[in-house]
Amino acid sequence: MAAKKIDPIINVEDDGLIIPEVGAWGEKKYKLVGGYCDIFTTGMRYKWGKLVYIDLFSGSGYARIKDTNKIVKSSALISLSIPNKFDKYIFCEADEDKLNALKSRVEREFPNIDVEYVLGDSNENISKIVSIVSKHTDTQGILRFCFVDPFSLNLKFETIDKLSRVGKIDFLILLALLMDANRNFVYYVEENSKKIDDFIGDTNWRIPFKNGDVRSEDFIKFLSDKYDANMKNLGYVEPVDKHRVKIDNKNIPLYYLAFYSKNPRGNDFFKKVEKYQSIQQNLF
């Protein structure tokens, strides 16, 4: 199936509700998410009884591009704007003001869509989220797509582990390895920091660094390989590559978007979207 040219970024006007600010690179991220959602629902619409979209850090639905007057729809509303919609949407957000803004925008623009909201930190709420996701069944089967967009390494691997067990579910995960991990290695290697322990689900990760088996310069590759290995242990196919998103006009990478599916065809879909976006770079 050839990837069709789509542009899921939709410019919008200020509606007076909360609008978080993001860098220009945010548009690249939203285009990738929108492109995958579109090809996902188009390709799987008649192969599964129900398609479910889950956003663990959904935000307010709008984003203002830094240093401009441009406002665009962000992941939650983009996922609702594609031609072939999901059957069910689950939006999770820790900030109550952002979630209320998202609710208002969804009710205004998509009043007849099946949407469920979860207020609170997704790491702390994962049992509740799993319960919500698990209760949606269909005799022809359910396929789920989960977008995970934290702005630092505040994502616990335990969260992904528990959610992966609900059934067929693909993940697109923002790995803030360069925004967060690379900048804070000296801090994280200290025993009093548990962020990396939680992020990769391993309290012994410091040992190879302290023994000199792994150099501090290889911290990013170490974390990336460890994350892939963790997902492989859950039954996921190793990603063919990762999107590296950088600051425009500068050779400064910010983060990677990693796609994980238990079916190799999921990687095929993702590669088609990558070709359209033309922003692919190999991780190493």
Average pLDDT of 131-148? Answer: 84
Rg, the chain, Cα only: 18
174 vs 32: CA distance, rounded Å: 12
Q: Are 174 and 180 in contact (CB under 8 A)?
A: no
Cβ(146)–Cβ(170) below 8 Å: yes
Confidence of residue 245 (pLDDT cuts 50, 70, 90): low
- Contact between 106 and 129 under an 8 Å Cβ cutoff? The reply is no
62-65 and 115-119 strand pairing: unpaired
Question: What does the alpha-carbon distance between residue 80 and residue 75 come to, in Å, rounded to a whole number?
Answer: 9
The answer on pLDDT for 179 being more than 90 is no
pLDDT in tens, 83-130: 999 999 999 999 999 999 999 999 999 999 999 999 999 999 999 999
pLDDT-wise least confident of 142-146, 149-153, 193-197:
149-153
| pLDDT tens for each residue of 211-223 | 999 988 888 888 8
Q: How far is residue 188's CA from residue 191's CA, in Å, rounded to a whole number? A: 8
Closest CA to 257 of 156, 143, 176: 176
User: pLDDT tens, 17-47?
Assistant: 999 998 877 887 888 888 888 888 988 888 8
- pLDDT over 90 (residue 152): no
Residue among 153, 95, 89, 166 at smallest CA distance from 127: 166
Domain annotation for the chain: domains and CATH numbers: 21-177+243-276 (3.40.50)
Angle between the N-to-C axes of helices 25-44 and 264-277, in degrees from 0 to 180, rounded to the nearest 10? 130
The C-alpha atoms of residue 267 and residue 170 are separated, in whole angstroms, by: 10
DSSP 177: I
What's the mean per-residue pLDDT of the chain? 84
Strand pairing class (115-119; 88-93):
parallel
Rounded to whole angstroms, how far apart are CA atoms 133 and 123? 15
Are 198 and 226 spatial neighbours (Cβ–Cβ below 8 Å)?
Answer: no
Q: How far apart are CA 243 and CA 230, in angstroms?
A: 19
- Mean local confidence (pLDDT), 44-63: 93
Entry field: residues in the chain: 284
- φ and ψ of 154, to 5 deg: -90, 25
Burial degree of 108 (CB within 10 A; 0-12, 13-18, 19+):
exposed
Q: With b meaning 16 or more CB within 10 Å and e meaning fewer, what string describes 141-154?
A: ebbbbbbbbbeebb
Distance CA 143, CA 49 (A): 8
Tokens of 140: 């022809």
